[in-house]
Chain A
Amino acid sequence: EAQVTQNPRYLITVTGKKLTVTCSQNMNHEYMSWYRQDPGLGLRQIYYSMNVEVTDKGDVPEGYKVSRKEKRNFPLILESPSPNQTSLYFCASTSPVNYEQYFGPGTRLTVT
């Protein structure tokens, strides 16, 4: 079954404590993305990756890092989280055939 998994699903942390949200896909897609969803703002792209070791900034990259050391995994790293990064985060993997994106179930992050 085509799948994108994210962990953890829920996370409450404190300001400044580094965290990583993992993302993995089993479809052998080259392209993956991270989004955040906030009320009234829809989904905004944080970072995307076109292939292993190739990443680029989306619309809201400040405060985030990513890495792509292998095709299936695309972790999102918050080196020093702040309360304005409290949000719902989605990882997505894109089919090269029709640009369809497969989204993970989401990670709800609260930074206090």
Chain B
Amino acid sequence: DQQVKQNSPSLSVQEGRISILNCDYTNSMFDYFLWYKKYPAEGPTFLISISSIKDKNEDGRFTVFLNKSAKHLSLHIVPSQPGDSAVYFCAASEGTYKYIFGTGTRLKVLA
């Protein structure tokens, strides 16, 4: 049973537009959520995180929204750039250092 789900395997967006990547979770005990970006032949790199006590966190072009009642988080990238084309993983942890990752969404930003 997957506790963290990314239901869209892929997403294409025009350059300059907004990219919205979604993630759903089932475990209400998760208290920290993170987004990672992964390019081919490289390890994932950290993008942005949010604590369960917040509903929004912003860092430059990246904003993460957390809706605890819906057990849903989303990553907004505005404006999208061709260099943002990568696989994006959301991850959740439950007060420990044990992380559960989603299966990833491949974002393609079209020039």
B85 at the interface (CB under 8 A from A): no
A residues less than 8 Å from B49 (CB atoms): 98-100
A residues less than 8 Å from B46 (CB atoms): 100-102
Contact, CB under 8 Å: B97 / A31: yes
A67 to chain B, nearest CB (A): 18
Contact, CB under 8 Å: B43 / A43: no
Contact, CB under 8 Å: B44 / A50: no
A residues less than 8 Å from B101 (CB atoms): 35, 42-45
Partner of B97, one of A43, A50, A104: A50
A24 at the interface (CB under 8 A from B): no
* Chain A binding surface SS class: strand
Contact, CB under 8 Å: B43 / A103: yes
User: Chain B: how many interface residues by the 8 Å CB criterion?
Assistant: 22
A59 at the interface (CB under 8 A from B): yes
Contact, CB under 8 Å: A33 / B42: no
B17 to chain A, nearest CB (A): 26
B residues less than 8 Å from A100 (CB atoms): 34, 46, 49
Contact, CB under 8 Å: B98 / A48: yes
1/0 per residue, CB under 8 A from B, across A35-67: the answer is 100001111110010100000101100000000
Chain A residues at the B interface, C-beta cutoff of 8 Å: 4, 31, 33, 35, 40-45, 48, 50, 56, 58-59, 90, 92, 94, 98-106
Chain B residues at the A interface, C-beta cutoff of 8 Å: 6, 32, 34, 36, 41-46, 49, 89, 91, 93, 97-104
